Amino acid sequence: MKLHEITGESFEEINSVFDPEHIRCTSRTVPIEAWRGGYPLRPASVYALEMKTV
């Protein structure tokens, strides 16, 4: 699965269009085993999960 994250130090930073340098966008592959055990998510982030069906 691929995890896409938009993050900043606070909700105010990721909601501000005036300070784009405070926003980080990342993508990473997360194995299904990591989700089963509980995967840590940041409170000041927005996530999208990309899954492929077989």
Quick one: which H or E segment has residue 6? Answer: strand 2-7
Chain CA centroid to CA 47, Å:
4
- How much is the pLDDT for 26? 93
Q: DSSP code of 43?
A: T
What integer pLDDT is reported at residue 53 of this predicted model? 83
User: Quick one: which H or E segment has residue 35?
Assistant: helix 32-36
Phi first, then psi, for residue 3 (nearest 5°) are -110, 125
Q: What is the pLDDT of residues 8-41, one digit of tens each?
A: 888 888 777 788 888 899 999 998 888 888 888 8
